[in-house]
Structure 1
């Protein structure tokens, strides 16, 4: 067992969409910097970024009802929807820049146009959906959204969902054609191919065991080479921990004050996937419903058309579950191991607060196949069990931290935790994660490289034309960005028409 030691500028831990995005940004901004990547598994994009491990919705808040909440006076708060849509526009711009420069090829491999729809039942929900459309309709980011509560119209939009429906309950949907399906696994692999061609050293089957501060302020990363069993040491001025659910334990090893009082709560998921091509052919949309009372926002039921390996698939889910692992390939001791003296009370407080969630997860774990079919039949009344198989989705680790809302508050969303001097940063949390990767990585650059941001600004504006601007305050820019990125990424003419209308 020999110990080798090497120095580099940047170390990225985890070969998922986040490291891929940060690496690709840095290669454009500081091409001379040396970057090394360490990934425990044999390939890029195998965990949360993998196409079978996430919903692949280009999360732009077009159909996800949990991003538009109803206030006590009955009005609809659309601020979160706007924020998420703006963040997705940043991703589209950066991907378009990479495609235009031939740094990544064939966008059809990772992004396809697909209508995004919201579907609700019951008088109150129909009224909410109508109000939501009204609140969004003047907004240029949500142009082209239609509403219908006419069963005949809905049969045209979603024949599979409407066929065999016997309930007399009012039903309504909104539909917008400018939605997308994103294969984040394919995108991640393309980005790593690009990084490899730019001489980034990518080490697969290398598991990071420890991270320690050295006397000169850089970080020493202890890496286990799984193939030959050797231990290697690598030091860098900057380390990014982008290991999905595996990020929290590594962040804790850095010992930075910012890593204290943070816990993680793992949630696993299942999807049902349709194996009958005749059924798959009858549905062409991502249709999001409303979360059941007491269910966490990440468990909104949805029926999705997906494009995976250039083949159309149909997925329904997610069914939440509980596993103590922080990664699909993790260990059953992950959760217990993440509880430290500094976050024990945070974790306990969350446990007491989230009894409802815990109960919900236990019920989900105990669901029989027949019970899952019943939930699917709320979407597809004529669904046949023989046509559907179960796929285990990725592990998500929700962040638990002390906030103004109290001790041990469960956070939904992604969060960057970085050292005060910007020398180390980690990404924690889950949805809408991958869709907003570019926004999140710009935040990492901002927090960790403040001294370079001025000189990088022209290049950032070249890659992301709306960088530093609010799209809401520049509506003409929205049309320009939507039509140019739609063109580059091969999305529908319809979207370009909308952008000009």
Structure 2
């Protein structure tokens, strides 16, 4: 086995949407940066970013009820929803910049306008949804949201869901026409194709097996060429670990203190996909329901229109599955090998705290297809099993760490970035809203890891992100300008063809 050594400025591990976004941002900010990417699979966007491995929702908190919480006094806290929406606006602005600068040419290749809706049943849930609507619609970020509990109006919005429905139980929905369906797999591939044109070295079928800090403060990364078997050594001033579920193991190998006492718990998603084009044609929205009592936030059921390969599809889920793998293409030993002396008690505490999650996963694993169809019938009353197939989506590794609020072994349900104190390495962990907020998250990585360059990059950042550094929720005029810009550039305000 021979050894080669190469130096570069930046190493990106993993060819998913996060690395693609960070690479593109850095190349726009400094075209002279030398960037190298390593991906163990044969092409970009094949794991969590792949269009069949995620729901394709442009997460802007328009329909996701788990981003709004009912407080003890009955009011609804929308702070998290405002935060997520602001972050998605940043992604829209950057994508618009790339389209305007001919980096991306056809927005419909990766983003389509699609109404986002929340749907609830039962008097208590209807009351909650109405209070949520009243709290949100007062903020400029959610201007245009509609609420209705009139079955006739809901028939107009969601005819497939309302067909043959028993109206004895109260029902209500909210609708935002400014929602989107995003093909993150296609976007990832488009971004990497452009990075290759910018002289970024992209190496597929290369597995990063180890990394360590060198005496001069650089990072030495050992990479195996999976075709030749040769192990190469690369060094860089900055490393970003964006390997999805595989990031945790590399974070642990880095040895940075910030990565201590952290663990991960893998959960896979299973969806029902409709194969009957007549049914697919009757639904045009992403409709999110409310998680059942005791179920984790990641289990929120939703019926989604998808646009993949210029074809309209219909998915329902997710149902939870379990595999000890941290990636779909991972190892059965991923979970057990992630348990280290420094996180053992954190993991044990998480297990003791989350018996309800364990019980939920066991119940989900035991569901037959017919039982899953029964859950689908809460959305589509006359759903038939023959019209639907099961598909296994991507693996998500939920972060486990010790927190001040939750104590030892707290299970996190968001996106986490772990950064070394000196900013020389950063690793992305966690799940939703993930890809939708990729630009915001990567800007935070740049802010923490390239602080000396921020002053000279600021004008370019404002060119790419007009709202950079300005909260849109407090600036209605700028928000209107941003909405108009992104809607026009990304063609979100135009009527799109519906593919069957």
TM-score for both structures, normalised by structure 2: 0.98
After the TM superposition, which parts of structure 1 deviate over 4 Å for at least 4 consecutive aligned residues?
Answer: none
CA distance in 1, matches of 2:494, 2:72: 40
Contact 1:161/1:381, CA 8 A, preserved across alignment: yes
For the aligned residues, what is the CA RMSD?
1.0
1:91 aligns to 2:86 (yes or no): no
| Aligned position for 1:213 | 213
Describe how 1:283-302 pairs up with structure 2 within 5 A. 283-302=283-302
Give 1:494 deviation, angstroms.
8.6
| Aligned position for 2:153 | 153
CA distance in 1, matches of 2:335, 2:448: 28
Of stretches 234-243 and 150-159 in structure 1, the one that deviates more from structure 2 is 150-159
CA distance in 2, matches of 1:276, 1:298: 27
- SS of the aligned residue for 1:263 comes to strand
CA distance in 2, matches of 1:263, 1:320: 20
Give 1:152 deviation, angstroms.
1.1
1:367 aligns to 2:367 (yes or no): yes
CA distance in 2, matches of 1:481, 1:391: 37
| Aligned position for 2:382 | 382
Of stretches 242-251 and 467-476 in structure 1, the one that deviates more from structure 2 is 467-476
CA distance in 2, matches of 1:482, 1:365: 42
- SS of the aligned residue for 2:455 comes to helix
CA distance in 1, matches of 2:356, 2:495: 43
| Aligned position for 1:197 | 197
Describe how 1:345-360 pairs up with structure 2 within 5 A. 345-360=345-360
- SS of the aligned residue for 1:379 comes to coil
| Aligned position for 1:168 | 168
Contact 1:62/1:117, CA 8 A, preserved across alignment: yes
Describe how 1:124-139 pairs up with structure 2 within 5 A. 124-139=124-139
| Aligned position for 2:420 | 419
Deviations, residues 470-498 of structure 1 (Å, cap 9, x unaligned): 11221111110011001000102599xxx
CA distance in 2, matches of 1:167, 1:357: 32
CA distance in 2, matches of 1:232, 1:246: 20
CA distance in 2, matches of 1:156, 1:475: 30
CA distance in 2, matches of 1:104, 1:150: 42
| Aligned position for 2:178 | 178
CA distance in 1, matches of 2:440, 2:247: 19
Describe how 1:448-459 pairs up with structure 2 within 5 A. 448-459=449-460
Paired residues, what number?
Answer: 495
CA distance in 1, matches of 2:494, 2:189: 27
Give 1:400 deviation, angstroms.
0.4
Contact 1:321/1:364, CA 8 A, preserved across alignment: yes
Deviations, residues 238-297 of structure 1 (Å, cap 9, x unaligned): 000000100000000000111100000111110110001000000000000000111110
CA distance in 1, matches of 2:256, 2:136: 42
CA distance in 2, matches of 1:493, 1:214: 53
CA distance in 2, matches of 1:10, 1:86: 28
CA distance in 2, matches of 1:296, 1:245: 19
CA distance in 2, matches of 1:44, 1:460: 26
CA distance in 2, matches of 1:291, 1:51: 23
- SS of the aligned residue for 1:298 comes to helix
| Aligned position for 2:469 | 468
Deviations, residues 414-455 of structure 1 (Å, cap 9, x unaligned): 111011111110001000000000000011001111111111
CA distance in 2, matches of 1:145, 1:494: 19
| Aligned position for 1:498 | none
Describe how 1:219-234 pairs up with structure 2 within 5 A. 219-234=219-234
| Aligned position for 2:335 | 335
Shift of the 125–494 alpha-carbon distance from structure 1 to 2, 3 Å rule, reads farther
Contact 1:115/1:286, CA 8 A, preserved across alignment: yes
CA distance in 1, matches of 2:158, 2:30: 48
- SS of the aligned residue for 2:377 comes to helix
CA distance in 2, matches of 1:163, 1:103: 44
Shift of the 367–167 alpha-carbon distance from structure 1 to 2, 3 Å rule, reads farther
Give 1:166 deviation, angstroms.
2.3
CA distance in 2, matches of 1:475, 1:365: 47
- SS of the aligned residue for 1:393 comes to strand
CA distance in 2, matches of 1:399, 1:105: 36
CA distance in 1, matches of 2:225, 2:412: 34
- SS of the aligned residue for 2:172 comes to strand
1:21 aligns to 2:50 (yes or no): no
Deviations, residues 8-56 of structure 1 (Å, cap 9, x unaligned): 0000000000000000000011110100000000010000000000111
- SS of the aligned residue for 1:212 comes to strand
1:66 aligns to 2:75 (yes or no): no
1:255 aligns to 2:260 (yes or no): no
| Aligned position for 1:103 | 103
CA distance in 2, matches of 1:494, 1:102: 22
Of stretches 144-153 and 194-203 in structure 1, the one that deviates more from structure 2 is 144-153
Give 1:167 deviation, angstroms.
5.0
User: Where does structure 1 lack aligned partners over 5 or more consecutive residues?
Assistant: 496-501
Contact 1:177/1:494, CA 8 A, preserved across alignment: no
| Aligned position for 2:264 | 264
Describe how 1:46-57 pairs up with structure 2 within 5 A. 46-57=46-57
